[in-house]
Amino acid sequence: MLEAHEIKPNVYWVGALDWNERLFHGYTTERGITYNAYLIMDEKVTLIDTVKEKFSQDLLARVSQVVDPAKIDYVISNHVEMDHSGALPAVAAACKNATFLCTTKAKEEFAHHFQEAGIDFQAVKTGDTLNIGERTLTFVETPMVHWPDNMVTYDEFDKILFSNDAFGQHFASSQRFDVDVDLCEVMKQARKYYANIVQPYGMQASKALEVVKGLSLEMIAPSHGIIWTEHIPQILEAYAQWTSNKKVDKAAIIYDSMWGSTEKIAKAICEGFIQAGLDARYFDIKATHESDIVAYTLDAKYIAVGSPTLNMKMMPNIAMFLTYQNGLSPRNADRVGLAFGSYGWAPVGPNAVQKELEGAGYKLPQETITLNWRPTQEDLDTIQEKAFHLAQAQE
């Protein structure tokens, strides 16, 4: 029988563990995913968020360990996306007496997602409160963290912020709290989550962060991953850094190669960066998934991208990487880019990379490095020197 986990007196985690999920629309989730939902037992029984549709019965089974779902008075939906709302039709069927609450934007979106469930949502806005007995819940809209409809719910009695996507991590665990798991791994997953999910909305996330800083908090309970308790300062500090868009002296060299020439250039660039004092590393795009690379590049000041020419184009894996990374709208104005690559008949691949980097707003002080056929050691020494000077010139 599935259990409900009491995280504070009369507050329960009733979510789902998705140990096997490995891809979240293009983002690899090597540690699985959790969909966190929370049940508050007060004079009015309240469910905060639900789970992915296929885990609907897990949610209801966990709730049933505490209370008959028919006795739930309120269902609060902080976010429309289906990893948190997919179970709403099953919840609506089981909770006949519940009132459903969400933002105005969410109400509009739910009308498209759940036409057939016939759920009558009531809209709430920032500053609205809901008294459920001993507790009063306060709603704060957090648009674009991570969709336009988002809000968070603050429980002042328990000092818990139910933060939905914000501060989440794709990290399935039998444990519920930060103090019971490997913090390094959780922070790594929180960073990957921010880079791949929240990054395009960094400005909105920084505004939400200001609201959070004003709250008295004992727990941040996101809708993915573990609950922050002792390590609230660490995750807030990390979000402060990530949303600041500050770059550090770090470089990523990302490339694909057909016969090893572009790879040799990548290694020479990397060595030049290292000798100039940067924290640098290279990624063969075939060996590392783009969602891991963007977690690394989140605060990197230097990004070099290399491709040979294939069929008068850049290599498809590099095109995919650039499309993915640019889609996350990284702030590149203070970032140095460098395009490079080898070619046989025409340097179309590296020049196409250069155009992509220009279009994404990188500074490109060094002209694109192109090399016909195989590089000699002298060529590589020259390239290493160029990379060294590129890094030195930015000091």
- Tell me which residues touch ligand FEO (CB under 6 A): 79, 81, 83-84, 146-147, 165, 223-224
Minimum gap (Å) between residue 108 Cβ and ligand FEO? 16
Q: Are 169 and 224 in contact (CB under 8 A)?
A: yes
What's the rounded Cα separation, in Å, for the pair 111 and 118?
A: 9
Beta pairing partners, 254: 283, 305
Minimum gap (Å) between residue 246 Cβ and ligand FEO? 25
288: exposed, middle or buried (Cβ count in 10 Å: 0-12, 13-18, 19+): middle
Q: Which is nearer to ligand FEO, 149 or 356 (CB)?
A: 149
Q: Which entry of 25, 116, 378, 395 is annotated as an active-site residue?
A: 25
What's the rounded Cα separation, in Å, for the pair 200 and 108?
A: 23
Active site annotation includes 79: yes
Q: Which is nearer to ligand FEO, 24 or 157 (CB)?
A: 24
Residues whose CB is less than 8 angstroms from the CB of residue 61 and which lie 6 or more positions away in sequence, other chains included: 1, 2
Q: Which is nearer to ligand FEO, 81 or 141 (CB)?
A: 81
Active site annotation includes 170: no
Active site annotation includes 146: yes
Active site annotation includes 83: yes
Q: Angle CA(205)–CA(101)–CA(202) in degrees, nearest 5?
A: 5
Minimum gap (Å) between residue 197 Cβ and ligand FEO? 7
The letter for the amino acid at 130 is L
Which residue is closest to ligand FEO by CB? Answer: 81
Minimum gap (Å) between residue 168 Cβ and ligand FEO? 7
Q: Which is nearer to ligand FEO, 209 or 391 (CB)?
A: 209
Q: Which entry of 12, 38, 74, 193 is annotated as an active-site residue?
A: 193
Residue matched to tokens 């759920």: 119
Q: Which entry of 79, 84, 170, 231 is annotated as an active-site residue?
A: 79
The letter for the amino acid at 126 is T
Active site annotation includes 165: yes
Q: Which entry of 84, 146, 170, 231 is annotated as an active-site residue?
A: 146
Query: In what side-by-side order are the strands of the sheet with 248-255?
Result: 279-284, 248-255, 300-306, 336-343, 369-372
What's the rounded Cα separation, in Å, for the pair 41 and 56?
A: 20
Minimum gap (Å) between residue 186 Cβ and ligand FEO? 17
Minimum gap (Å) between residue 106 Cβ and ligand FEO? 12
Q: Which is nearer to ligand FEO, 223 or 257 (CB)?
A: 223
Q: Which entry of 224, 263, 271, 299 is annotated as an active-site residue?
A: 224
Active site annotation includes 224: yes
Q: Which is nearer to ligand FEO, 147 or 157 (CB)?
A: 147
Element (H, E) at 301: strand 300-306
Which among 121, 100, 123, 99 has a CA at the least distance from the CA of 112? 121
The structure tokens listed for 295 are 């977690």
Q: Which entry of 83, 263, 271, 356 is annotated as an active-site residue?
A: 83
**Residues designated catalytic:** 25, 79, 81, 83, 146, 165, 193, 224
